[in-house]
A = this chain, B = another copy of it.
């Protein structure tokens, strides 16, 4: 017979930059999101789920002015007869769809509109270690109010959320800053310029930054976390050698200007009142700056009234992440307990959520500025933190495996698992080839089973069943002396109708043993 040419087999591979999640990775995340949704709901936030797909036009940023507008996003052109269909894309965050939805339904939505959204987003970026092209976001935003009560509320909600997830008070801190305060500081130290008539009297002088310098100052401030006070001082003025020995040019501020910026960054006092006083001084007579300080004061007062003291939520001008992006208050939640990094060094766990106020949410669509404030939780980082603290991942997850000694007794084995499940115990019958009993025990091991149930014709005749504690069995196999092995048997023969009670007893013992 002539050989027919076969097409090569497709490769079974996760696409590059994506990953698969198995078992508890999935269920623990689902449980975390459920708890977060519960807190958000209690705060009056409503769920919103938009589709993964948006028109590129609605997403913005990535407009089809080039042949293929898929830089950064996954995009494709819809098919129509002239090949001129709309460009579509996978959402790259949850804020762009919120903007579209708010513009679209604004007459039907309550004002203000509190909404939360959770789900995957997609980025068409070069994948790297730990960086994936699909990941979860979990956002809450309040749209349509300029009230600082909205910002305070989100900070309080964030604190409640972390505690609900099992992060105890003292192990987290929410820090609040305000872009307007920074603006105020920049206003008062901006270079003096003559007014339009060329006058330079006290009344007519203008303080104006050229844009590139201002941006350079913002970029430098953003490095505060990394280079610290002295580093920022150098970078704002004459420049700095970095750890590799390379020289980074400075922004060129004079010493007084740089000092003022640094004083803003380190303005945190021992109380919120002290901090606010320091900030008041830092912004001098800038109207912008005064407004910013007043906003922070309102937030601090609202939170204090609800019992959120500075041990949980604190005014801290050293929060710089996002100061360049947001327009008012900025907030960040960090976990303060120490972990060991991959090199074995102690360090704080760091940021797990951040957000702030932004005012141009729907302007692209409607021309109208709509104030909004919101937060995004880093789902995967927070999951890692909860695992680190042993708050999740400790429970026995594998099912009780009922082994098959006699294929003709399958109905009896099914009856056993049905009883176990009715009692809320995760259980399954071994459904592979039962010939080799060793394979069944290997299977139970691979499944992480806590207990195996064994019954052959001897047991059925005697109305009994064998129950094997696999966790204890593994411990004994590893450590025990012969005497211990005799004293603490890991296998028990019980009457058939004691099956559920004995399995429950063993499971309870395993859990308390892990506690």
Task: Give A residues with C-beta under 8 Å from B.
Answer: 9-15, 18-27, 30, 34, 37, 41-44, 46-55, 57-58, 60, 68, 70, 74-76, 79, 86, 88, 90, 99-101, 103-105, 110-112, 114, 120, 122, 133-134, 142, 144-145, 147, 149-150, 152-153, 156, 160, 301-302, 304-307, 362, 364-367, 399, 410-412, 414-415, 418, 421, 424-429, 431-432, 443, 446-447
Contacts and interface: CB of A to CB of B under 8 A. Distances in A.
A94 B265 CA distance: 51
A415 B20 CA distance: 44
A57 B11 contact: yes
Given A52-B122, A414-B149, A110 B447 contact: yes
B367 A9 contact: yes
B21 A49 contact: yes
Given A15-B53, A22-B47, A26-B48, 19 more contacts: A9-B364, A11-B58, A12-B365, A22-B48, A23-B47, A25-B47, A30-B37, A34-B34, A41-B426, A74-B76, A74-B88, A110-B447, A111-B443, A145-B431, A149-B410, A153-B431, A301-B411, A302-B414, A306-B415
B144 A432 contact: yes
A14 to B, nearest CB: 7
A13 B104 contact: yes
Contact of A21 (B48, B60, B142, B160): B48
A414 B34 contact: no
A431 B149 contact: yes
Contacts of A365: 9-12
Contact of A44 (B153, B306, B427): B427
Given A22-B47, A42-B421, A57-B11, A305 B142 contact: no
A358 B192 CA distance: 79
B10 A364 contact: yes
How many monomers of this protein are in the complex? 2
B153 A414 contact: yes
Nearest to A99: B12
Q: Is the interface of A mostly helix, strand, loop or mixed?
A: mixed
A155 to B, nearest CB: 11
Nearest to A446: B110
Nearest to A308: B418
Contacts of A44: 399, 426-428, 447
A410 B302 contact: yes
Contacts of A24: 47
Contacts of A37: 27, 30
Given A149-B429, A305-B411, A414-B302, A26 B47 contact: yes
Contact of A88 (B13, B15, B79, B301): B15
A160 B418 CA distance: 10
Contacts of A412: 305
Nearest to A156: B418
Contacts of A51: 14-15, 18-20, 120, 133-134
A15 B34 CA distance: 28
A83 to B, nearest CB: 9
- Which residue among A49, A50, A70 has the maximum number of chain B CB atoms within 10 Å of its CB? A49
A52 B134 contact: yes
Nearest to A18: B51
B147 A100 contact: no
B15 A54 contact: yes
Given A10-B364, A44-B426, A114-B428, A50 B20 contact: yes
A431 B15 contact: no
A26 B44 CA distance: 15
Contacts of A42: 421, 424-427
A25 B51 CA distance: 13
A104 to B, nearest CB: 4
B13 A145 contact: no
B27 A41 contact: yes
Nearest to A439: B111
